[in-house]
Amino acid sequence: MMLDWSRFQSGAVGPEKAFGAFAAQLFERWLRREYGDDFASYTLHGAGGDGGVEAFARLPAGDVVGLQAKWFAGNIKASEINKIRASLDRAAATFPTLRKYVVAQRQNLTKARHEDETGGVERWEDFIAAAKKDHPSVEVVRWDEAGLLDQLAQPGNQEIKALWFEGEFTPSMITVAWEKVRSRLGARYLPDLHAVGAIDAMLDSDLWSPEAVGRTRRTLQQAVQALTEASSALGGFLRLTDGRRPPELDTPAIEAAAAIEALRSHAAVLIDVVATGPRLDVPEGPELDALAGLEELLEDFKKRGEGTYTADHAERALQLAWEAQEEVDAMEQMLRASARPRLVVGPAGCGKTHAAAAGVHRRVKEGNPCVLVLGKGSSPRDGAARMLADALDTPGWSLARMLDGLEALAVLRQASLVPAEDGKTGFSRALILIDGLEEAPGSDRWGDLLGDLAVELARRPRVHLVATARPEFFRHADLPSSIGHVRVEEHADVDLPAMLVAYAREYRVGIEAVPWLGWALRNALEIRLLAE
């Protein structure tokens, strides 16, 4: 069975970018089969000198595995071999520890038909011979049509073939899905009212936007620098008090120094996590009891007048360490939470629907694959596949096929991003946001649906699930343990007078006749109920 490239679904982005996303999707899954999730870094972008999509994964030992996707038609030409060679040379120069380089192309190579011709097979063999000479430590692997078919035959990949060759799944479907939901929302979503709040900021972190990833990386890098300074300050204390400090300080000071170094190493590990994308097995930080123990002993040391000045060095070290620990712990919790499906819990009228709609709206406009599902119009008894198919207007599609489609659009989105100054593009993710679980008929069945989605998404880190619900639903719901939760009071900083005017205009309420009304309404829910 061969691939029918005439049916390849490239949509509006063109075949080159679409093929790059297709190859990168298979490459990411191959990486996880071969190496698990334990990467030191992962980069995907379309920065090849000839426009080819490139992806690179750095393994814990330092070895690098790379991908180059080329949309070449027919038997490979000499000029195309030169492009592959240039890409390999550039990759080897950029990554000196490159050990494996996958070249994806859409068709198998054939030999020359006549003696005076050079066929694709011969050109490839000559290229491999030259590559072994120029880059002896690099294994070049070709994924031609046969290689791509082999990847598509791997467990869990069968739906990818159906997605790319048997049905169209494009960014325009995401836009249409959003417009349909927006028309149902009515005045529950007024774009002019929205300001960035807790839910929007949470979505930015959960979806690993380039800005959020950059902030996280900088925070951790600053923590590493602070801990390096802390280690130096504590070392200065040990040198200055050598032979003069009480013996009971020796071991605690050494243990505190070890704790600071352990925290610094942990922050460096988290920087690696930031460079790879969401993962469930985020390592936990070290115990810091030694810092508290040294802190108590230092107080006694100073009270005895045995080194007030020199103790300042140690106290400075501890202050830096504690401040860094707060930042590192916050980033660790954020990274861990972003890898799990999340339930946002907030009271009625706090603006969950408004914030959810605004978050999806903004991201869809930016080209990110996001789907908003209204709980009010859903039936969890029908299952996740039916719910998502209704939202995307893909009747009859399996759940795996739709999730693979969202994953593909996320890969395509990242491949199209322009890298930041540091060469990073974040880790583009698709979003499924289910708003108002308590509003659905048969809402007691959400646990089964969310559990099914959580199982599927554990194998698809590029697709993220968020749902919203009221506290009373959350208290009585039987939800799987794989679903995290966060509580919000989204409208805490909303301009209530502006909200009243906006709702009055939308619902044609003559509030001018009651000038004191604005003072009587105390929160967003009261304003909305009055307008309705």
Q: Which residue has the tokens 């008929």?
A: 441
Give bridge partners of residue 465 from the DSSP assignment: 432
6-30: b or e for each residue (b if 16 or more CB lie within 10 Å)?
eeebbbebebbbbbbbbbbbbbbbb
- Give CA–CA dist 390/385, Å, rounded: 9
Question: What is the model's pLDDT at position 521?
Answer: 58
C-beta atoms surrounding 288 within 10 Å: 18
What pLDDT is stored for residue 498 in this prediction?
A: 61
Report d(CA 87, CA 55) in Å as an integer: 12
Q: What is the DSSP letter of 100?
A: E
Q: What is the DSSP letter of 340?
A: S
CA angle 427, 66, 268 (to 5 degrees): 55
pLDDT score of 320: 96
Record the tokens describing residue 299, joined without a space. Answer: 């107080």
Distance CA(269)–CA(39), nearest Å, equals 11
pTM: 0.83
Q: Which helix (H) or strand (E) holds 58?
A: strand 53-58
Tell me the pLDDT of the chain (532 aa) as tens digits.
Answer: 688 888 887 766 778 888 988 999 999 999 989 988 777 778 887 544 444 568 899 888 889 999 999 998 878 888 999 999 999 999 999 899 999 999 999 988 888 776 656 778 889 999 999 999 999 999 999 999 999 999 999 988 888 888 888 767 778 899 999 999 998 887 566 555 544 467 888 999 999 988 899 999 999 999 999 999 999 999 888 888 787 777 888 899 899 999 999 999 999 999 988 988 898 888 899 999 999 998 888 877 777 765 555 677 788 899 999 999 999 999 999 999 999 999 999 888 777 888 889 899 999 999 999 999 999 989 999 999 999 999 999 998 999 999 999 999 999 888 777 665 555 667 899 999 999 999 999 899 999 999 999 999 999 999 999 999 999 999 988 999 999 999 887 555 555 566 666 666 656 666 665 565 655 555 566 666 666 5
Instruction: Provide the β-strand partners of residue 64.
Output: 58, 98
pLDDT at 363: 93
Domains identified in the chain and CATH numbers: 5-166 (3.40.91), 171-185+340-487 (3.40.50), 212-338 (1.20.120), 496-531 (no CATH)
Q: How far apart are CA 30 and CA 470, in angstroms?
A: 40
φ and ψ of 365, to 5 deg:
-60, -35
The DSSP annotation for 184-199 comes to HHGGG--GGG----HH
- Amino acid found at 437: L
The distance from CA 342 to its chain's CA centroid, rounded to whole angstroms, is 14
| Burial of residue 347 (number of CB atoms within 10 Å: 0-12, 13-18, 19+) | middle
Query: Dihedrals φ, ψ of 386, to 5°?
Result: -65, -40
- Helix, strand, coil: what percent of the chain each, to 5? 60, 10, 30
- Please give the pLDDT value at position 249: 82
Do the strands 64-70 and 98-105 form a parallel or antiparallel pair, or are they unpaired? parallel
Q: Hey, is 419 helix, strand or coil?
A: coil
Residue closest to 443 by CA, chosen among 465, 469, 464, 466: 469
If you count DSSP H runs as helices and E runs as strands, how many of each does the chain have, helices first?
Answer: 19, 10
**Helices within 241-351 (DSSP H only):** 250-274, 289-303, 308-338
- Cα angle 154-155-160, degrees, rounded to a multiple of 5: 75
